[in-house]
Amino acid sequence: MYMKRTFILRFAMMALLALGCEAGMAQTATTGKYNVPMAQYPQVDNQGRAIFQLHAPNAKEVVADICGRKYPMTKDAKGTWTVTTDPLVVGFHYYFLWIDGVQVTDPGTDAFYGCGRISSALEIPESAEDAAYYTYQQGINHGQVRECQYFSSVEGKPRRCYVYTPAEYETNPNKQYPVLYLQHGMGEDERGWHQQGFMANIMDNAIASGRCKPMIVVMDNGNCSYIHGAKRGEKRDEFGASFEDVMLKDLMPYVEKTFRTKNDRDHRAMAGLSWGGHQTLQITLKHLDLFSHIGTFSGALLMAPGQDIKQVYNGVFADADKFNNQVHALFMGQGSEERMGTETMCKKLTDLGIHNTYYSSPGTHHEWLTWRRCLNQFIPMLFNEK
């Protein structure tokens, strides 16, 4: 009898401990980085799983959709739908909710422009150490990001761009600054680098630590904010191509008139992610009289099958010595889990004698964490006097 009572007591204690562990696990879940005020969901737990919840008592089906990976949600007696995902990779994730077959954003989060539409988002956090370079740091000076409007003579209408100025810009009224033109990717817009990419934090931290020179950063809409194929009959090489004239004829003159910029090629750079990387190469390699620093993040050179690399971009790579004298930095990066062909292209350029830098972001795919890392690696290469 004594042994039986002892066994029951031990079993009860183990059960309580198990429940305590589960409760502890639940308590480690935190509200999402981008949640609106008072919104308790989505949450992220200590295993990197997202927890979604939505009160929709009249709905018959609710599904959480993270970039095409769908998680059917379960409804309780009060009409609240909930689901916990599998562990997700660290970094930024766009997502949507499907309610009875209709795609909507989650009312619990801020809105982001991505995937060619307004979407919801969550961040699976890295360690504080790994995320430090794009995290707001106290105790350093911070720059400003300005939303600007200018009139485009090419398009016959006003356009919007975002402009970052370094912290010292306001206190050095006689100083001029080099400029980096920084482009988003397909299905995103001029807000992407500021909102999803934490560009300002990356710049502030790098400048404050002395890793890079103070500079102005300009972000505009690359006319590729929809998904290619949405416009009937549009060829792939036409997608976003109209931005070149806008940039050269309208954007750059506006920036150089409005801000204290150094207006020579040695102090002008361009970089972009994904399709913005493609646009960067299309524009800069045709206009080396205007640009001397080039960066492409997950945006490899586009070549026809069997085409000689010396023939692309009007033969700009045919004369390595000339190219190396003109281009002070050619940076090409991608995630280690991508298959963009960037590494192969860099090796081909190296074999030709073209100076270039290849960067592989450890463990990442075609995603914002890759591009944040690429920007952080690229900016120390800019505007260093030879």
Burial 95-115 (b: 16+ CB within 10 A, else e): bbbbbeeeeebbebbebbbbb
- The SS3 of residue 49 is strand
- Report angle CA 262, 268, 269 to the nearest 5 degrees: 150
The pLDDT, as a whole number, for residue 225 is 84
Check if the beta carbon of residue 182 is closer than 8 Å to that of residue 213: no
Q: What is the DSSP string of 145-203?
A: EEEEEEEETTTTEEEEEEEEE-GGGGT-TT--B-EEEEE--TT--TTHHHHTS-HHHHH
Cβ-proximal residues to 23 (8 Å cutoff; 6+ apart), any chain:
none
The pLDDT, as a whole number, for residue 300 is 66
Domain residue extents for the chain: 28-125, 131-381
- How does pLDDT run across 68-112, given as a tens digit for each residue? 999 999 999 999 999 999 999 999 999 999 999 999 999 999 999
- How does pLDDT run across 122-136, given as a tens digit for each residue? 999 999 999 999 999
- The SS3 of residue 360 is strand
Q: Which residue has the tokens 């766009």?
A: 94
Q: Which residue has the tokens 């890759």?
A: 370
Measured between alpha carbons, how far is 341 from 334 in angstroms, rounded to an integer? 9
Check if the beta carbon of residue 226 is closer than 8 Å to that of residue 116: yes
Cβ-proximal residues to 202 (8 Å cutoff; 6+ apart), any chain:
133, 134, 372, 375, 376, 379
Q: Any idea which architecture 28-125 has in CATH?
A: Sandwich (2.60)
Measured between alpha carbons, how far is 273 from 277 in angstroms, rounded to an integer? 5
Q: For the chain, how big is the Rg over CA atoms in Å?
A: 25
**Dihedral sign, CA of 267, 263, 198, 229?**
negative
The pLDDT, as a whole number, for residue 67 is 87
- The SS3 of residue 235 is coil
pTM to 2 decimal places: 0.90
Cβ-proximal residues to 138 (8 Å cutoff; 6+ apart), any chain:
none
Q: Decide if 28-125 and 131-381 have a common fold.
A: no
Count of CB atoms within 10 A of residue 52's CB?
Answer: 25
The pLDDT, as a whole number, for residue 229 is 66
Q: Show the low-confidence residues of the chain (pLDDT under 70).
A: 1-27, 229-230, 300, 386
Instruction: Please name every residue paired with 152 in a beta bridge, in sequence order, or none if there are none.
Output: 157
Q: Any idea which architecture 131-381 has in CATH?
A: 3-Layer(aba) Sandwich (3.40)
